[in-house]
Structure formats: structure tokens, C-alpha cells
Structure 1
Amino acid sequence: MEYTQIFKLYQYVFQSRKHILEMLEDRGYDVDHLKNYTAEEIKVMLNAHRIGKFESISDIGPLDIYLEKKATDSGKSKDVDAVDSMMKNLTIKADSESIKGKTTGGQGVEKIYIKYRLDSKFKGTTSLHTQITDIFDQHLTTKDTLIILNISRVLMKAGIKDKIDEDFVNKFFIVKNYFIQIFGLENFLFNVCRHDFVPKHRILSKQETQELMTHFNCSVTNIPTIKRDDAQAKYIGLRPKQICEIKVENVSSGVTTRYRHCVN
């Protein structure tokens, strides 16, 4: 990569980091310990990530984020990010063997893995397919979420045909039940989801879903749908068959609550 491209990549990584952590926070993960890295530390992490070629392997690299969230306590999570190990030892290469030993979550633990692949744009290659399979074999289960981060913006508008990135992850979900999301760093240069005028979306728990069905005496098929690639649905990590609550604030009518059923 040319110097200008490397500098632009560094700017994207640094500027997007804040909003990526906001998204994780909105999903219920504790990210306080990840908020205080300086610009220089992020640059060191990026260089180590590229030198170690962590973009194309399943091991957790210096930039990658791996968090655990206990199902019984949505406000707490356990971080096993490779960053701390790398920064404490001031090494260029992360200790992948020690990382592997940390990624064995217990029962009832929901995990999320953000992999900085950093391709210029999405490419559904054999390399990516193998990497995803290895990640789920080594670090994640079908209960967990994998986010692949490239550089260019991913168009997040439901209903658009020929979205090769969504077709790619949908096949994984249908065949193997792997929940994968693909974003670009450019998607996180600002966080529109925290704007006052954007309706607040929240995923209902299984118990809340059952109570909703009982209250309205209906089934899931009676609830209006929302696509999994809808911008808000994607932001909160909404999976197919899940139901989300949407609170819309209006000056004249106050707060209106709506419900949507997620589909592929």
C-alpha cells in the first residue's frame, strides 16, 4: 500500500473505533476498558495487525475485538481482546496460542468477534469462506456474532437486489446457522443511530416475545416484518425470527411503540 493509502486507513481505523464501541455498548457489552487507547497506540496496533497478517486468519489480532456477554446479565461482558496482551508486552506479534486458550466461553455466554479483515471492499473469496469457517470452529458457536470489517462503506438499505455481501452471509445463516455481519470502516465514521430523531430499536428476549404473543393473541407471522439488512436492524444485531421493539417519539402523539419480525 502507498503511504497515502496507509495514512487514510489509519484515519479510518482511529475515527471508526469510537462508533464501533458505541454499537457494542448499545448491544449490551461492556467496552469501558477499550475506550482509552490513544491515537499512537491505535497506530501501533494497526501496524502489528498488518505485519502479523491477522486480516486473513482466524486468530485474534491486535485490532480485533472479542467480547463475552453473560445471558443473565446483559450489562456486563468479559473482554478477551488480544490488544491488552500486545500493549503490555510491547511486542509486534500477538501471542495467538494464549489467545486461543481464552476464547472458550462457558454455557449461556453470548460472544461477539469483530475481525478487522480490511479488504478495500467486500469479496466473497474462498479465503474469506475458509476464514469464517475457522473462526466458528475455534472461537464462536451458532449463538454468537461475527462481524467482518472491510474499508469501503457497505450499503445498508433493505430491499436492494443483487447485494452480494448479504447474499453471502445469508447462505451461511441458512446452511450453517452462522450469524455474520459485514460492515465497512466508512459505515462507522459517524453514528446516525444515536441521533435524537432516529427511533430506538431493541431486541426482545424470548420471554418478552412470548408475553407479546399472549398479550395480542397473535403469532409471529401476524407481526410486520423488518429485513435483517435494514440499517437499524443490522446495528443492533437483529437475527432472522427475532422480534424488535421500536419506540418512535413524536411531538404531538408522544411515544409510539411498534414491533417488527426480522426476516432474511
Structure 2
Amino acid sequence: MLYFVGAGPGAVDLITIRGQKLLCKADVVIYAGSLVNPELLQYTKKNCKIYNSAHMTLEEVIDVVKIAEKENKMTVRLHTGDASIYGAIREQIDMLNKLKIEYEVVPGVSSFCGAAAALGAEYTLPSVSQSVIITRMEGRTPVPERESIRSFAVHKSTMVLFLSSNLTDKLSAELVAGGYEPETPVAVVYKATWPDEKIFKCTIETLPQTMKKNNINKTALILIGNFLGNDYNRSELYNPNFTHEYRKGKM
């Protein structure tokens, strides 16, 4: 059996209880060493075999799983954040299905949640934005044309950029070309929830300079939108005059 486990955004205690229990039981752990906090490996038992997938191909990962299955051993595939976001699990699942190897996916806390927590921010503010676009700039890996930054920027909704820290010159230009005002607020959260977490606040216009000045070119999320401002409406859910299923309004 193989378990895909979301390791959380960085802090060791932000892995789920289920994920931690599986790590403790695992005979084999294959972890994304470029992003997963290595301190999580302290939960593994002494005789657990540990592999760093940063140095492996997909085929090499699957070969390790195949050997573990033949030896009737349980494997944990430890992904950063939540494996459903830029986790490359679909290609692994397809190969496991062909090999008739059973698997289960255990969700984790994504770094975009950790970044909002670090800021004390709410992505979906009434009258400001009720949608969150999670995306990335096109780099060495292409992005479908219909999902370009420029096309998404038309909506001016909340946007969270993964894997884009070294592409901010083009990112800034595409955001403005799509419709965001240059003065739209931006927050950069470097290594959200890690001990060395850093937060930088700027605007779309000043984003490239901010990144260069602070030497941030990887392991950071870029959060864009007016949810970072101070103007919004109160939620109707807690409005004393609003009636809903559980409470009658006062007026």
C-alpha cells in the first residue's frame, strides 16, 4: 500500500494527525526533499528506508514502490503542502493503477493557507473578492494560453502565484496588461510557516524591485489583490439584522 501524504507548508506540527501516524508506521518514505521540511523525518521508525525524490525520476520513484510492494512493505510518498496542488501525483497514480498497486491520498495544509495565516488575511472578503485564483507564471513548464496571467488578471480577484518568484518582471507587466492597477497591493511570503519565514509587502508595480532587493527567487508565494487592503463589507452571517437558519435577525 502506498499513501500520498501532504506534509503541510513547512512547520513540523502542521502535518495532519493522520499523516503523522502514517509516517510513524511507514517502512519506506519517499519525500520531496527540495521543499518538505526534513525535520518531519524524525517521525519515522529506525529501520525505515528514506529516499529523497529531488534526485529521482518518476520511474525511479515507482521502482522503489514496486520493490516495497514485493516485500509487503508500506510506503509513504511525502509531498509538500497538499499533494493536489502542483504535486505531480496524477502521473504517479496512473502508473500505480497500471501496476495494480493500491494507494490512498491524505490531504495536507497547502502553503497558500499558511501564507494567509502568516498575514492574518482573508482571501474572500465581502464586496472585495469572492474568488481565489491559484496559478503560476509560464516558465520552462508551459501554461495553457487560456490560463495566462493576463487573462486571469481581467477578473481582478484574489490571485495566489506559486512557482513564480524568479519571473516577477514579466509577471508584473502581465498583471497590469490584464487589468490590475499598478498600485494593487501584493504580499510576498517566503517559506510560509517555516522558522525563517519572511513577509514583504509592496504593489504590483514595485514587486520586481522588492524581490531583487531582498534576494527572493524561490520558495515564496506571491499574493495579489485588494483583499490585502482595509476596505470591505461585514459578513451578513454575523450581521445582527440578518436572519438565517440558526438565528433570527433583530430587525
- With structure 1 as the length reference, what TM-score do the two structures score? 0.28
* Structure number having the greater helix percentage: 1
- Of structures 1 and 2, the one scoring higher in RCO (CA 8 A, sep 6+) is 2
TM-score, length basis structure 2: 0.29
In terms of Rg, which structure is larger?
2
